[in-house]
């Protein structure tokens, strides 16, 4: 009886904690369907008393949110593919190949994870500007095509692959390139999926770099597009939250469908240091 009571109490506490964590997301969708008067009322309403679905239509009329979402998907997709290629190649070299100074180079490589992105943003901006890449897709994507975190994550996963597998492949005349393409990559789908979801969401939610290097409206991303719904004279919060709901919906769906892969990859990478 006492054990059953403890389990019930734990589930109740977990349910309350989950509701508190999820409520900001749910409240965003509630605000997105409120009328302008209800969204600006004080004290605020926690639940909508009416549903105004035309808020979403009005957002599309005010700002080209579809073009912004398309831009963001393109940039996030290119960055994700680039990080998968560079990180997997570097991780394989650190995990499966022997060369002089490997451990030292890897330590320096991982140490770059300690450097905040804000420290490097000015040198990166000056470099991109000197190459005339301002307001271009290459300026938005190239600085993010390599990631130390992705290399570290994949290396930890590659280290778990048995050495006997590589030795057997070598006996069949398989070199590093063939072993990497036809054995390591297919066996590493959980880790690759984790890195894909992480890099896509990270780029999808970036704000400062696109704001810094883009000037024209057709190059803007969704995070900047949301700020265009706020006007100097007044702010229609129902429209701002409708735009926010449209923006977070793709990333929420990606997180929901990729959460299992994300957890599996993180857990697998943490098993061996």
Q: How does pLDDT run across 79-92, given as a tens digit for each residue?
A: 999 999 999 999 99
Per-residue pLDDT at 250:
79
Per-residue pLDDT at 189:
85
Say how many CA atoms lie within 13 Å of 46 toward its Cβ.
2
Q: Where are the domains of the chain?
A: 64-237+246-270
Per-residue pLDDT at 232:
60
Q: What are phi and psi of 76, to 5 degrees?
A: -65, -40
Per-residue pLDDT at 167:
83
- Give the mean pLDDT of 111-116: 86
Per-residue pLDDT at 243:
86
How far is residue 87 from each of residues 64, 146, 188, 194, measured CA to CA in Å? 34, 7, 13, 12
Q: How does pLDDT run across 158-206, given as a tens digit for each residue?
A: 988 888 888 888 888 888 889 899 889 988 888 898 889 889 888 988 8
* CATH of segment(s) 64-237+246-270: 1.10.3720.10
Asked whether the predicted pLDDT for residue 244 surpasses 70, the reply is: yes
- Give the mean pLDDT of 101-121: 87
Q: Which of 225, 164, 158, 241 is nearest to 192 (CA)?
A: 158
Per-residue pLDDT at 273:
43
């Amino acid at each position: 009886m006492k054990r059953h009571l403890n389990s019930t109490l734990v589930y109740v506490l977990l349910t309350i904690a989950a509701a508190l964590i999820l409520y900001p997301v749910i409240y965003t969708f509630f605000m997105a369907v409120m009328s302008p008067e209800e969204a600006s009322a004080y004290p605020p309403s926690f639940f909508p008393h009416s549903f105004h679905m035309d808020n979403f239509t009005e957002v599309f009329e005010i700002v080209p949110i579809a073009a912004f979402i398309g831009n963001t998907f393109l940039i996030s997709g290119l960055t994700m593919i680039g990080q998968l290629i560079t990180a997997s190649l570097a991780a394989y070299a650190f995990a499966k190949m022997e060369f002089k100074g490997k451990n030292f180079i890897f330590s320096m490589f991982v140490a770059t994870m300690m450097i905040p992105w804000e420290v490097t943003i000015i040198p990166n901006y000056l470099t991109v500007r000197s190459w005339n890449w301002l307001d271009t897709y290459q300026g938005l994507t190239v600085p993010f095509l390599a990631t130390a975190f992705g290399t570290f994550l994949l290396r930890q996963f590659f280290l778990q692959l048995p050495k006997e597998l590589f030795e057997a492949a070598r006996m069949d005349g398989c070199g590093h390139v063939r072993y990497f393409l036809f054995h390591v990559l297919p066996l590493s789908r959980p880790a690759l999926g984790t890195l894909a979801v992480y890099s896509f969401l990270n780029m999808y939610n970036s704000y400062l770099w696109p704001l810094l290097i883009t000037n024209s409206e057709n190059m803007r991303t969704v995070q900047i597009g949301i700020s265009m719904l706020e006007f100097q004279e007044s702010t229609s919060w129902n429209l701002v939250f409708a735009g926010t709901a449209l923006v977070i919906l793709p990333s929420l769906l990606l997180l929901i469908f990729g959460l299992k892969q994300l957890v599996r990859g993180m857990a697998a990478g943490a098993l061996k240091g």
